[in-house]
Amino acid sequence: MPGMVATQVAVDTIPSIDPATGQVRAQFERTLPLAVAGLMARARAAQVEWAKRPIEERCALIGKLKKTMLEAREALADAVVRESGKPRVEALFADVFVSLDTAEYFAKQGRKLLRAEKVKHHSTAAKAKSGTLLYEPLGVVGIISSWNYPLAIPMSQIIPAVAAGNGVLCKTSDFTPECGALIGKLFGEAGFPVELVTILQGGGEVGQALIEARPDKVFFTGSVFTGKHVAEACARGLLPSVLELGGKDAMVVLADADLDVASSAAVWGSYSNCGQVCLSVERLFVEESVSEEFIRRCVEKTQKLRMGPGSDPGTEIGPLIRPQHVQRMKDLIADAVAKGAKVVWGGRARPDLGANFFEPTVITGVNASMKLFQDETFGPIMAIQVVKDAEEAVARANDTEFALAASVWTRDADRGKELARRLKAGTVMVNDVMSGFAIAEAPHGGCGLSGWGRTHGKAGLLEMVNVKYVDVDWLKGVEKPWWYRYGSELEKAAGAFLKFEFGGVREKVRNARAAMKTMMRRHW
């Protein structure tokens, strides 16, 4: 494609499929796995020169990237809708907005975030030293991205990577090749050096080739199953990694919550992008005293949602990405019903709309024995469990191996914050859901089966750099007291120094002279 940052080397093509219709809309060149090592070498050459540029210049180019994206916003949204199936409003808010905001954040804040920092020394032994932290680029990072947010996820990682002075090889999803090609085109049109940001097109074989090409760090977004293989491959090469492997996010609704607002949040948090979101509400715990009214409101609002292709302005629920995902929803619901859960609304495929459509579903009586509470759903199912009180809600919310995000709903902000501290998650929102991903300063990530490391904000930027400590000693003509020669005299002096440094006031007074003698001793 014209304007691509790197020339793609391919042996065949990848189809761009519209999940709403199942039609193949276009074909894109597939990257040959054997070519990845060469692309890595070119990216390394480009990165060496890029890292020499002042941070102000790098941030200025990111500012140009933002303008390029803003001008292309309609075309970008169209591509996201065509390949992911989500409603166009969601493409604009969740993909285009997040990409633009990430660019604006690092264009404006990159210099400050990467500025060298002085290190203050508290120890007497280090008072004559001047310490500085430097944030240096790693080199070339490898990014293996996901299809559900085909712009927001890769752009929120590529942008801080280049701001930090790195080169990037990014394998976008083979479900969204047009979006991947557009990302490469954006960086080219914004004026970034050729081959600094290279888009790889393909499936798992290209991801494997990327890891084998030995980038300086690997960032992966995807399933637990694939993430384990990525982690193993990185471990074999001692490559550091950041993994975002999804969640089983809990929503806790307390009796004092605004039920109208909370039910609207539950509906949007469960069904946005047809539930294909790592931050989706996948386990909903509501206090018993308000459960009946809360469920009634959720069902009422779910019934009003309009299903259809994302290109229709009236659509609120689009298709799932592929037919096998529809079958997965059927299997999860069948397992839950067989174990005692009740489908209150929905629960059916909609072949009349297309092979990938599945109704937004409200299901109650769900418990931890069911796959709906064990495995990541990644679909439009609101699974509700009634609990006695907040204590039970927190206990059940934490009863999972995932730990990505959660939310608490209450009119008492202090109580909400107290419960947030007790929930096992990388992000907890009080009286909001999912939008933390769209806050540029907020780190994104979790632990357990949700992976490790962070993206977004300063925490994510620090994953993109080598933190170097530089120490300058101002007593350049003085030998250090802990150097050779050893002996009983130094051993005794060291004991006095420890008492002076770490003891109370009396110990400091008693050992001050001996401590000074230690500092001034002769060596040879």
Say how many CA atoms lie within 13 Å of 345 toward its Cβ.
18
- Burial class of residue 422 in the structure, from the number of CB atoms within 10 Å of its CB (0-12 exposed, 13-18 middle, 19+ buried): middle
Residue 37 tokens, joined: 């090592």
**Phi, psi dihedral angles at 308 (to 5 degrees):** 165, -170
Yes or no: say if 363 and 342 are a contact pair by the CB < 8 Å rule: yes
Rg (CA), the chain: 27
Given 278, 282, 287, 316, which residue is catalytic?
278
- Burial class of residue 414 in the structure, from the number of CB atoms within 10 Å of its CB (0-12 exposed, 13-18 middle, 19+ buried): exposed
Cα 469 to Cα 129, 133, 282, distances in angstroms? 12, 5, 43
Given 29, 195, 244, 463, which residue is catalytic?
244
Strand partners, 26: 16
Per-residue three-class SS string for 182-209: HHHHHHHHCCCCCCCEEEEECCHHHHHH
Task: For residue 177, give the 3-state DSSP assignment.
Answer: helix
244 noted as active-site residue: yes
Say how many CA atoms lie within 13 Å of 315 toward its Cβ.
25
Cα distance from N-terminal residue to C-terminal residue, the chain: 71
Yes or no: say if 247 and 460 are a contact pair by the CB < 8 Å rule: no
Compute the distance between CA of residue 510 and CA of residue 146 in angstroms, rounded to an integer. 64
Work out the number of other CB atoms within 10 angstroms of the CB of residue 435. Answer: 15
The total number of residues shown for the chain amounts to: 524
* Identity of the amino acid at 296: R
* Crossing angle of helices 224-236 and 204-212, rounded to 10°: 20
Per-residue three-class SS string for 278-343: CCCCCEEEEEHHHHHHHHHHHHHHHHCCCECCCCCCCCCECCCCCHHHHHHHHHHHHHHHHCCCEE
Compute the distance between CA of residue 238 and CA of residue 451 in angstroms, rounded to an integer. 17
Compute the distance between CA of residue 393 and CA of residue 396 in angstroms, rounded to an integer. 5
Place of tokens 């096992």: 424
Work out the number of other CB atoms within 10 angstroms of the CB of residue 438. Answer: 17
User: What DSSP designation does 302 have?
Assistant: H
Strand partners, 284: 251, 384
Catalytic site residues?
244, 278
